[in-house]
């Protein structure tokens, strides 16, 4: 047990292959160990999105070199191609991609937003029209879990009714919140591999405090069947202040002894803010998607390598970064390649993901400074202070949500 700021760490064995150990806190920020067979991950943890189970432009070996801990796959797209039956036959997503780290699959619920024009939602589930061949796919809570059982990820997500945070009809948010709670029972009943795969419940409710509280309360009533919790329905265009208030509210209401996952979060500042508010896990396409537009992540913000000023800049992207790209290539070199050679996007993706990994390592180190897996010098660039937090969110304190 580790005591920091008056809080004792707690180790909880949630299943045969999933263990969560909270080892330190600093204010509301947390550092934890998350054991996903066959390796241990440390939080805060950013998970790159690999729609088909692998990140575009990078090999599994490169992801290991970047010290990536867990990769997210998309249930809807993986079922479309190559299919969960084939993945199960081949030994699951990890073996299919020759990946040694952890895996997580979403439930397919997000496609209710991203493919809204191709989706029809009912109490039974959601029917999608494939954007590839036009065929219909009916995704019920039971089928979502069945597909994820076949894919074989370490962490699987319950199917939830997802509504864009900027939707204008309050009645739709209430409907989605109540339906999400009804669907969680169907997901739990359908789960056939609870000793091998950890099922997380997802909190919905839009920006409405009352609905968020109701969803948290409903999920906590099923706590024995849920090894972890996620905050969904955010990062969809809402104001940052509203986003932050919902994260603060939800994390303050969740159990201390289980992981907290804020879905769809990838901007570096958002990772820091959410970690400061007590979140543990994050995912987003942002690092790889922005790389394909010629943009690199740096401590000062972003570096747009297509601009003319980069043509004669012989510095690395980030002089403090330890990635292969920063060690070997100049900004001028990448500027010359970015509009002409496809591998330039891969190089920027490599750097951007390493940037996110380093940021999470640094936050873990700040919260748990006795950890030895990060050099002490690397913590210098992390701004976990209340000053930085207040500069970005002047109307919000880090204690908001403790109502």
**What residues are labeled active site?**
106, 283
Q: Which of 140, 241, 243 is nearest to 182 (CA)?
A: 140
**Segment 320-323 long-range contacts (CB within 8 Å, at least 24 positions apart):** 320/378, 320/381, 321/351, 321/354, 321/355, 321/358, 322/354, 322/358, 323/66, 323/350, 323/351, 323/354, 323/355
The DSSP element (H or E) to which 389 belongs, if any, is helix 386-392
What end-to-end distance do the CA atoms of the chain give, in Å? 28
- The two three-digit tokens of residue 127, written as one number: 């029917």
Torsional sign, CA 105, 106, 107, 108: negative
Distance CA 50, CA 55 (A): 4
Phi-psi bin for 226: left (phi > 0), alpha (psi -120 to 50), beta? beta
Q: What is the DSSP string of 67-104?
A: T--EEEE-HHHHHHTT-HHHHHHTT-HHHHTT--SEEE
- The two three-digit tokens of residue 239, written as one number: 């104001």
Antiparallel, parallel or unpaired: β 260-262 and 70-73:
unpaired
Q: Which of 338, 204, 364 is nearest to 276 (CA)?
A: 364
**Within its chain, how far is the Cα of 356 from the centroid?**
12
Burial of 308 (0-12, 13-18, 19+ CB in 10 A): exposed
């Amino acid at each position: 047990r580790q005591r920091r700021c008056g809080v004792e760490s707690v180790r909880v064995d949630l299943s045969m292959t999933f263990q969560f150990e909270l080892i330190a806190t600093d204010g509301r920020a947390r550092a934890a160990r998350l054991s996903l067979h066959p390796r241990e991950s440390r939080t805060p943890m950013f998970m790159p999105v690999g729609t088909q189970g692998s990140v575009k432009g990078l090999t599994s070996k490169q992801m290991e070199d970047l010290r990536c801990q867990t990769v997210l796959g998309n249930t809807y797209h993986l079922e479309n191609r190559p299919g969960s039956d084939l993945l199960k036959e081949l030994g699951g997503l990890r073996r299919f991609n020759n990946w040694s780290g952890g895996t997580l699959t979403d439930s397919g619920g997000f496609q209710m937003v991203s493919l809204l024009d191709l989706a029809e939602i009912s109490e039974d589930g959601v029917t999608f029209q494939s954007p590839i061949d036009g065929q219909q796919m009916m995704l019920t809570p039971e089928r979502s879990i069945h597909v994820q059982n076949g894919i074989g990820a370490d962490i699987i997500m319950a199917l939830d009714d997802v509504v864009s945070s900027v939707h204008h009809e309050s009645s739709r948010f209430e409907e989605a919140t109540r339906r999400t709670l009804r669907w969680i029972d169907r997901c739990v009943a359908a789960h056939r591999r609870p000793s091998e795969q950890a099922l997380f419940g997802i909190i919905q409710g839009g920006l409405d405090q009352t609905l968020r509280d109701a969803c948290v309360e409903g999920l906590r009533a099923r706590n024995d069947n849920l090894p972890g919790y996620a905050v969904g329905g955010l990062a969809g265009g809402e104001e940052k202040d509203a986003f932050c208030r919902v994260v603060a509210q939800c994390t303050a209401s969740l159990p201390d002894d289980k992981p907290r996952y804020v879905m769809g979060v990838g901007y570096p500042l958002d990772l820091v803010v959410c970690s400061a508010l007590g979140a543990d896990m994050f995912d987003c396409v942002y690092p790889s998607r922005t790389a394909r537009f010629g943009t690199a992540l740096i401590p000062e913000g972003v570096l747009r390598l297509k601009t003319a000023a980069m043509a004669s800049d012989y510095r690395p992207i980030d002089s403090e970064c330890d990635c292969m790209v920063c060690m070997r290539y100049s900004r001028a070199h990448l500027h010359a390649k970015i509009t002409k050679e496809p591998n330039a996007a891969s190089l920027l993706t490599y750097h951007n993901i390493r940037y996110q990994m380093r940021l999470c390592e640094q936050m873990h180190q700040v919260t748990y400074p006795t950890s030895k897996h990060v050099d002490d010098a690397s913590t210098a660039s992390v701004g976990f202070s209340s000053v930085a937090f207040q500069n970005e969110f002047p109307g919000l304190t880090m204690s908001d949500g403790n109502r």
